[in-house]
Structure 1
Amino acid sequence: MSKAVLVYRGEYLESTHDVHVAVVNAEGELLYSYGDPNRFTFPRSSMKPFQAVPLVESGAAEAFNYSAAEISLSCASHSGEPFHRETVLDILHRVGLEENHLQCGTHIPRDMESYHQLIREGKELSPVFSNCSGKHSGMLATTVYMKEDVNTYREVAHPHQQRILEAIEQVCDFPKEQIQISVDGCGVPVHQLPLKNVALGFARLAKPEAFTEGKRAQTLSTIRDSMIKHPEMVGGTKRFDTDLMKVYNGRIVAKAGAEAVQCLADLETGIGIAIKVEDGTPRATSVVTMEVLKQLGIGNEEMFAELEEYVHVPVLNARQDKIGVVKANFQLEKAIQEGK
């Protein structure tokens, strides 16, 4: 049986990965798919643009003078580089809180130089290093603005988490009663829904004009444009989301999620793409993403050449020698006629 992703060690096949892909337009029509586009999936951090909706829509971002870079950071899974951490701390200062109000926990940041500097200084890891500290600072800012309890902001019953649930219901067009809720790695609620509905959310991020009433269209436009303008905030140095958005120069919004999820919004065609690698292995996500973009005709040869390390992910040994490669091996299936 053919597998969607092949991992080679030298010339020999060593491992494989199954994947699921949904490509949807802003009307909710499934255009292309692979695997199971209805697979119930926790998009994990890919949902951060929608978790940021209440920050913007409530007026909190405006009240606390959020810049576009800071809105982008609220959607981030950042690397913990100095500019990420400094921005989070500045936001907390403006809303009258301290770092210890962040309830995202701690982990070693992707930016190893920052971690090594911390060790040299004899300091402990703190929550600002968490890749989710931008999201959590945005949640706290909204909670402060709405005069709600900052100590329970991450609990599912908190008004802010209910605002997020309602935003996801509306943007992804899936009843909140059917959204399964668990706990994300950073302690806040995480939402499980069909992959094609996640793709729909990103299609509406690309083309929010579907929302004709209220602030929603402007809110999504603000979040989308902030991420495009400041892709370095979304990920960081040598991160796929950041590099992809830079190379596509205003056309693509990209947001990865843990357990090998990748979502995209294409502003030119207005489509949303949601990808899930079945076994949760992240090495396959960029390979699948670039193959989907290639098959959909999104991008050109120069772009793919610039992103080559993500198109054919190298397998490295402990000496950092390239001794293999990860390759795509699938064909999208057309779901409906174009122009229907």
Structure 2
Amino acid sequence: MSEAVPMVEVTRGGMVESIHRGHAVVWDASGGLVRAWGNPGLVMYPRSSCKMIQALPLVESGAADAAGLETRHLALACASHNGAAIHSDLAAQWLAGLGLGEPDLRCGPQEPADIPARDALIRAGETPCQLHNNCSGKHSGFLTLNRHLGGGSEYHETDHVVQKAVRAAFEEVTGVESPGYGIDGCSAPNFATTLEGLARAMAYCAAAREGQGTRETAAARLVQAMSAHPELVAGEGRACTALIRAMQGRGVVKTGAEGVFVAILPERGLGVALKIEDGTTRGAETAIATILAGLGVLDPSNPVAQSYLNTPITSRRGLAAGAIHPTAALTSGW
């Protein structure tokens, strides 16, 4: 088994203060493994990075079209959003169109990460609800699929018809029989796979084209939705939204908790999956930006790219103190 490799350094005063180690895989949909760091066979939880895979049954079953879902709904189904008004309002409208409401969700309430939304709740004397949960779009998709399949109300349970459909799609596109699952923050099961399997699934989505079969059409539609609505995938100030915009149609990215990040690159037919061993977001953001730049789908001179490739650390008075940047192990060989 290959050990995690140093991917990201945090420097202060000219000295390396912290190192984020990790694993990453670049997979070609037609040719297999392109490049790997660390252990491609690492068994891990994708967490929210696989939401587009969890949304495949929603589209390929016909449930999305039967419910009249638009591209923006599909983007929200793949999102880990900030709970801003554009997110929670869309989720509420989506549920209302199904004849359902916030109590039908099973994701749990969450304080919005979006500051204006949070402050509006405080001023109104209201508490956060499930619509503010970063997974409310995914769960609205589950409810849409559930109505189509005629399942019971507890759609988040592992033996429910919805989650059985999700697991089947997940195992088929990763090419790996899942060894088990963990309960995600939104209470839905998160099926484990290998890092290579996750990259393979992203490459499948990258190569998918509409009209080339039910599943490929579903995957292509979800990727196009994320590309068309980066503001719904995460939100302002978030890496997913910023990097999708900066790639200018060359691909999409999706974060997951505990240092996971994936990329789907249709222009190249490539899928990328990475896991930072210590679970830090800052390490994962720098690592994915570095790989995207190395693959030629992100201009390293773009200000957004620069903000992740060489993130300045300043004191509270604004004095330059250090930086977060990729290691030579990650930048060499491109």
With the shorter chain as reference, the TM-score category is: over 0.9
Query: How do residues 62-77 of structure 1 correspond to structure 2 at under 5 angstroms?
Result: 62-77=65-80
Query: How do residues 243-282 of structure 1 correspond to structure 2 at under 5 angstroms?
Result: 243-282=242-281
Residues 91 and 131 of structure 2 are in contact (CA less than 8 Å); yes or no, is this contact kept in structure 1?
Answer: yes
CA separation of 1:39/1:210 partners in 2, compared to 1, >3 Å: closer, same or farther? farther
Q: Any idea what the Cα deviations from partners look like across 1:138-181, whole Å, max 9, x if unmatched? A: 1011111222112x100000000000000011111112xx4321
Residue 87 of structure 1, CA deviation: 0.3
Residue 322 of structure 1, CA deviation: 4.8
Structure 2: which amino acid aligns with 1:144? R
Residues 293 and 300 of structure 2 are in contact (CA less than 8 Å); yes or no, is this contact kept in structure 1?
Answer: no
Unaligned runs of 5+ in 2: none
Residues 56 and 219 of structure 1 are in contact (CA less than 8 Å); yes or no, is this contact kept in structure 2?
Answer: yes
* Aligned mate of 2:56, from 43, 53, 69: 53
Residues 240 and 253 of structure 2 are in contact (CA less than 8 Å); yes or no, is this contact kept in structure 1?
Answer: yes
1:338 alignment counterpart: none
Q: Which SS does the other structure have where 2:264 is aligned? A: strand
Residues 21 and 275 of structure 1 are in contact (CA less than 8 Å); yes or no, is this contact kept in structure 2?
Answer: yes
Residues 28 and 200 of structure 1 are in contact (CA less than 8 Å); yes or no, is this contact kept in structure 2?
Answer: no
Residue 216 of structure 1, CA deviation: 0.6
Q: Which SS does the other structure have where 2:110 is aligned? A: coil
Higher RCO structure (Cα 8 Å, ≥6 apart)? 1
The answer to whether the aligner puts 1:107 opposite 2:130 as a matched pair is no
Provide the C-alpha distance between the structure 1 equivalents of 2:329 and 2:170, rounded to a whole number of angstroms.
Answer: 30
The answer to whether the aligner puts 1:14 opposite 2:17 as a matched pair is yes
The answer to whether the aligner puts 1:92 opposite 2:95 as a matched pair is yes
The answer to whether the aligner puts 1:129 opposite 2:132 as a matched pair is yes
Residue 208 of structure 1, CA deviation: 1.8
| Identity over aligned pairs, percent | 34
Structure 2: which amino acid aligns with 1:170? E
Provide the C-alpha distance between the structure 2 equivalents of 1:18 and 1:233, rounded to a whole number of angstroms.
Answer: 30
1:331 alignment counterpart: 329
Q: Which SS does the other structure have where 2:192 is aligned? A: strand
Residues 204 and 210 of structure 1 are in contact (CA less than 8 Å); yes or no, is this contact kept in structure 2?
Answer: no
Query: How do residues 78-227 of structure 1 correspond to structure 2 at under 5 angstroms?
Result: 78-150=81-153, 152-175=154-177, 178-208=178-208, 214-227=213-226
Q: Any idea what the Cα deviations from partners look like across 1:202-259, whole Å, max 9, x if unmatched? A: 11111025996x4111111111111111111101111111111111111111110000
Provide the C-alpha distance between the structure 1 equivalents of 2:14 and 2:75, rounded to a whole number of angstroms.
Answer: 42
Provide the C-alpha distance between the structure 2 equivalents of 1:225 and 1:179, rounded to a whole number of angstroms.
Answer: 31
TM-score using structure 2 length: 0.93
Provide the C-alpha distance between the structure 2 equivalents of 1:259 and 1:278, rounded to a whole number of angstroms.
Answer: 8
Residues 260 and 274 of structure 2 are in contact (CA less than 8 Å); yes or no, is this contact kept in structure 1?
Answer: yes
2:309 alignment counterpart: 311
Provide the C-alpha distance between the structure 1 equivalents of 2:183 and 2:13, rounded to a whole number of angstroms.
Answer: 40
TM-score using structure 1 length: 0.91
Q: Which SS does the other structure have where 2:272 is aligned? A: strand
1:298 alignment counterpart: 297
Residues 251 and 268 of structure 1 are in contact (CA less than 8 Å); yes or no, is this contact kept in structure 2?
Answer: yes
The answer to whether the aligner puts 1:242 opposite 2:241 as a matched pair is yes
CA separation of 1:322/1:147 partners in 2, compared to 1, >3 Å: closer, same or farther? farther
Root-mean-square deviation over aligned CA pairs = 2.2
CA separation of 1:210/1:25 partners in 2, compared to 1, >3 Å: closer, same or farther? farther
Residues 24 and 40 of structure 2 are in contact (CA less than 8 Å); yes or no, is this contact kept in structure 1?
Answer: yes
Number of residue-to-residue matches in the alignment: 330
Residues 198 and 274 of structure 1 are in contact (CA less than 8 Å); yes or no, is this contact kept in structure 2?
Answer: yes
Q: Which SS does the other structure have where 1:273 is aligned? A: strand
Q: Which SS does the other structure have where 2:172 is aligned? A: helix
